[in-house]
Chain A
Amino acid sequence: MEGHVRGRIIKDTIFKSLVMCLSFVAILPLLLILYYITKNGIAVINWEFLTTLPRPIGEAGGGIYNAIVGTIQLIILSSIFSIPVGIAAGIYLSERKEGKLSELVRLCVVVLQGTPSIVIGIVAYLWIVAPFQSFSALSGGIALSIMMLPVIIKTTEETLKLIPYHLKEASLALGVPYHRTILKVVLPAGLTNILTGILLSVARITGETAPLLFTAFGNQFMNYNIFKPIDSLPYRIFYYAMSPYPEWHTFAWGASFILVVMVLGLNLTARGLASKWKVQF
């Protein structure tokens, strides 16, 4: 009897340590990535790197200013398209739990989430780049907004589903029309979570390269015209890293560092937001 119990305790201990070790293995890649990027990238980060444009081949120095601004422009563009559409679709799904259209939208969201980003890039190319006969920030923004949609729709739907039904009732019983009830009572109650979802989707697209290759394309110069090609951090990393010049390789590390910091910052903000502005029912 004694031995039997001890055997179980030993098994328990082995199991616990195994689970712990494997979860450490799971975070190891992230730690290594952060380590390499910091080690190789931090040296080139300075004010000049952040605020100058890339220089032509053969000239020393240069920076990633246009790429940072471009990435921010792309984020804004894609948010403009995806946030209203995504929230609207999420509201619809949470309000109509059954029904043919809801089922269809839900299916599309799942499929869209699994669609390779390069395919979405090709579609944006066909829709916008080909007719306009020019690579453009707009097409990049649209490609990225399609990638943001599933996340925003899903979080909005799931969030609104968790809003207690009695809140909606309280509003409707006051004679508040349905649309105002949704916009002024239900949506605000879930706003923090929805915002978190939006930030996470932004974090997800900030590092996307594939759909930008034949939409936003990349640009040596600063560009504020959404109908012209635009630079972005991922593209700039790709461009610098593919070059044969050692200096540009370190630039690629530096740009990677900035990109990772941006994405990490977005993720942490999202987390902080979710816990700080939590709505209590």
Chain B
Amino acid sequence: MESTILRVEGFSAFFGAHQILKEVNLSTSNNLVTALMGPSGCGKTTLIRCINRMHELIPGGKVSGNIFLKEKNVYEMEPIILRRQIGMVFQKPNPFPTMSIYDNVIAGYKLNGIKRSKSDMDSIVEESLKNAALWNEVKDALHRKGTFLSGGQQQRLCIARALAMNPEILLLDEPTSALDPRSTAQIEELIVELKKTTTMLLVTHNIAQAARVSDYTAFIYLGEIIEFGPTDKMFTVPKDKRTEEYLTGKFG
């Protein structure tokens, strides 16, 4: 059954006098991967940071328009409640350095003071790590520090940490830009696998990555969505000339 998870309506974002996003419209349904692609500085990262309101950490920002998560306006929710429902994975793997692998996965519960029984936590950790395709590599080292893992493993640990909260949607902010090709391939495989159960929004400046893993692609340029549609269509018959030029490497 298809249902709309995220809907962005006429959304604009400003930093000071500078307009970063211009009247963006976008929507995505459950268990789909939507790629936001565009040259650096086009506003794609700003857009996903506006979805879980992480942009509010930087003073001077202002937004207009609406974003709905499962028909609830995210700008009318408490940010801390909203962010528990939206998972986020960052460019640079950022496991908590003082915590073990186990504690990293369960961090969303522990840090929020959400009490769970030991056996519940064990199963959440195991399930999340399995979903993040990391379980087999770390199951004997759950109490080692997360920072001992390789970069790609750390990133999958961060994905597991986000999945443990059972998010409505997972935001991936260029999750492979700090990783080597092998780890990148593993993360991409993981995204394709996760698609069965999870809705994802993937920011990438890698055209090939968008083509490989996403169902829908939005091409963002200078703060505007130039084109939004099924990935296979956009990559074979782009409607807009700028999309075509970007895809063929004329700019970006």
Q: Confirm or deny: B158 has a beta carbon within 8 angstroms of a beta carbon on chain A.
A: yes
Dominant secondary structure of chain A at its interface with chain B: helix
User: Would A177 and B80 be within 8 Å (CB), given that A169-B54, A171-B111 are in contact?
Assistant: yes
B97 contacts A176, C-beta separation under 8 Å:
no
> Known: A169-B54, A180-B112, A280-B147. Contact between A174 and B83, CB under 8 A?
yes
Q: Which residues of B contact A191 (CB under 8 A)?
A: 98
Residue tally, chain B, CB below 8 Å to A: 31
Which residues of B lie under 8 Å from residue A279 when comparing CB positions? 97-98
Contact A280 B92, beta carbon cutoff 8 Å: no
Q: Which residues of A contact B84 (CB under 8 A)?
A: 174-175
Contact (Cβ within 8 A) A176 B111: yes
Complexed CA–CA distance, A279 and B94 (Å): 13
Q: Which of A15-23, A29-37, A115-123, A182-190 contacts B (4 or more CB under 8 A)?
A: A182-190
Within 8 A of A (CB), among B49-97: 52, 54, 57, 79-88, 90, 92, 94-97
Q: Which residue of B lies closest to A187 (CB)?
A: B98
Contacts of B87 in A (CB 8 A): 173
Name the A residues within 8 Å of B54 (CB-CB).
Answer: 169, 172-173
Closest residue on chain B to residue A178 by CB atoms = B80
**Beta-carbon contact of A175 and B98 below 8 Å:** no
Contact across chains for B80 and A170 when beta carbons are under 8 A apart: no
- Tell me if B112 and A174 are in contact (CB < 8 A): yes
Q: Is A181 an interface residue (CB 8 A)?
A: yes
Task: Say yes or no: B112 contacts A281, CB within 8 Å.
Answer: no
Contact of B111 among A166, A174, A189, A281 (CB under 8 A): A174
Q: Is A164 an interface residue (CB 8 A)?
A: yes
Residue of A nearest to B171 (CB): A173
Structural contact, A175 and B90, CB atoms closer than 8 A? no
Contact among A169, A181, A281 for B97, CB-based, below 8 A:
A281
Q: Point out the residues of chain A lying under 8 angstroms from B39, CB to CB.
A: none
Interface residue B107 (Cβ < 8 Å from any Cβ of A): yes
Does B37 interact with chain A (Cβ within 8 Å)? Answer: no
Measured between C-beta atoms, what is the minimum distance from B112 to chain A in Å?
6
The reply to whether B96 and A171 contact each other, CB–CB distance below 8 Å, is yes
A189 and B97: CB pair below 8 A?
yes
Give the chain B neighbours of A184 by CB distance below 8 A.
111
Pick from A167, A175, A280: contact of B94, CB under 8 Å: A167
Instruction: For residue B96, give the distance in angstroms from its CB to the closest CB of chain A.
Output: 6
B6: chain A residues within 8 A (beta carbon): none
**A172–B57 CB distance below 8 A:** yes
**Given contacts A175-B81, A176-B80, is CB(A185)–CB(B57) below 8 Å?**
no
Task: State A205–B38 Cα separation when bound (angstroms).
Answer: 58
7 tightest A-B CB contacts, nearest first: A175-B84, A175-B83, A173-B88, A176-B111, A166-B94, A174-B108, A170-B94
Could you name 5 residue pairs across A and B whose Cβ atoms are closer than 8 Å?
A174-B107, A175-B81, A176-B80, A176-B108, A185-B98
